[in-house]
Amino acid sequence: MQSPMAPYPMTRLRRTRKSPAVRGLVRENTLTVDDLIWPIFVRDGDDVVEPIPSMPGVNRLSISRAVEAAAMAHDLGIPAICIFPYTDPSKKTELCEEAWNPENLSNQVIRAIKAAVPDIAIMTDIALDPYNANGHDGIVRDGEIVNDETVAALVKMALAQAEAGADILGPSDMMDGRIAAMRTALEAEGHHNVCILSYSAKYASAFYGPFRDAVGASGALKGDKNTYQMDPANSDEAMRLIQRDLMEGADMVMVKPGMPYLDICRRVKDRFGVPTYAYQVSGEYAMLQAAAQNGWLDGQKVMVESLLSFKRAGCDGILTYFAPEVAKHLKNG
């Protein structure tokens, strides 16, 4: 839509940029703490804070430290955190049984945070990769990532997480039929109010590299994820995936990665008008942090600008490793 405009000099578009006050009046989008979901990495052990080299500023936290992090996030006003477990290689199997163990690390963390910080929303990740001996999101048989058997495993994983107290489940596996299967099981088991934030349009991206280090999946992964994650060349296909997941019972949808896929975010919001999220993934975070550490970019400024771009693209919120830092920045200016 093009607004009517008198010719220059009757129209001078710089007029509305002349001072902070006027710029404030015409500002179209704002980033607030309510827009943030903070992904954290957890590991076993006592009182451990273990830096992740490819993600400067991000650590793997043992349970007590994860609870402290959740409390800190809540104090900053961050509405939700998302838990990703680093799994000891000894617990990884071909059938990924640890994924639905009610006492696995992720479920222990959910319970501990729920008990100590009941008001922060807890999001989870549903995919088999942290528990899989071959690093894939699904069960592998004769070289194929099998769909339906994986969905059955993911449903067990979803129920165990809901049972532990998760508020928002995040299926990131890209199998077909998983949203309907999970929603049906959640309803049957009385988990009527557990939300599903589906990673509906998740691309087969090289920007996930540092994350795979963080959860210890890099070494394990054999081959690539191209038979289930999306081709970065496609956009219409993302609309079909979003529509499909909404029709299967997803409450919210996600585009992932974030910055290289802002066009997809905008299309999703315009077309469906549903709660839409983007994941500013590990590689995006690593790029900005690396450049900032070298003094090549102003870290604070690019952090805020990159997150604002998601709001402009139509997102209702962003999963970002910058969440605590940007929350502090928004608070203190």
Catalytic residues: 202, 256
Half-sphere exposure of 11 (CA within 13 A, CB side): 6
Q: How far apart are CA 86 and CA 181, in angstroms?
A: 26
Minimum CB separation of residue 316 from ligand PBG in Å reads 19
C-beta of 14 vs 255, nearer to ligand PBG = 255
C-beta of 63 vs 154, nearer to ligand PBG = 154
Handedness of CA 41, 46, 47, 52 (dihedral sign): negative
Q: Indicate the burial class of 299 (C-beta count within 10 angstroms; 0-12, 13-18, 19 or more).
A: middle
142 Cβ contact list (under 8 Å, min separation 6): none
211 binds ligand PBG (CB under 6 A): yes
212 binds ligand PBG (CB under 6 A): yes
Segment 270-309, which members bind ligand PBG (CB under 6 A)? 281-282
| Under 8 Å between Cβ of 92 and 98 | yes
Among 63, 100, 106, 129, binds ligand PBG (CB under 6 A): 129
Minimum CB separation of residue 256 from ligand PBG in Å reads 7
Per CB under 6 A, the segment of 65-73, 87-95, 124-132, 267-275 that binds ligand PBG is: 124-132
Minimum CB separation of residue 135 from ligand PBG in Å reads 8
Angle ∠(252,281,313) on CA atoms, nearest 5: 55
Minimum CB separation of residue 55 from ligand PBG in Å reads 8
List b or e across 194-209, with b for residues whose CB sees 16 or more CB atoms inside 10 angstroms: bbbbbbbbbbebebbe
Q: Which of 325, 332, 293 is nearest to 307 (CA)?
A: 325
Minimum CB separation of residue 89 from ligand PBG in Å reads 17
Span between the terminal Cα atoms of the chain, in Å = 34
Strand pairing of 144-145 and 140-141?
Answer: antiparallel
Per CB under 6 A, the segment of 7-15, 16-24, 123-131, 242-250 that binds ligand PBG is: 123-131
191 binds ligand PBG (CB under 6 A): no
Among 35, 98, 137, 245, binds ligand PBG (CB under 6 A): 137
Among 42, 127, 157, 303, binds ligand PBG (CB under 6 A): 127
Chain residue at closest Cβ approach to ligand PBG: 211
Among 100, 208, 261, 310, binds ligand PBG (CB under 6 A): 208
Residue for token pair 């309510």: 34
| Under 8 Å between Cβ of 38 and 80 | yes
Minimum CB separation of residue 154 from ligand PBG in Å reads 11
Quote the strand ranges of 4-55, DSSP E.
Answer: 36-42, 49-51
Minimum CB separation of residue 8 from ligand PBG in Å reads 46
Q: How far apart are CA 73 and CA 199, in angstroms?
A: 23
Take residue 311 and report the two structure tokens written for it: 């709001």
Site string for ligand PBG, 159-188 (x = CB under 6 A): -------------x----------------
C-beta of 4 vs 319, nearer to ligand PBG = 319
Among 98, 125, 245, 248, binds ligand PBG (CB under 6 A): 125
C-beta of 98 vs 129, nearer to ligand PBG = 129
Take residue 20 and report the two structure tokens written for it: 């902070």
User: How many chain residues interact with ligand PBG (CB under 6 A)?
Assistant: 10
Residues near ligand PBG (CB under 6 A) are 125, 127, 129, 137, 172, 208, 211-212, 281-282
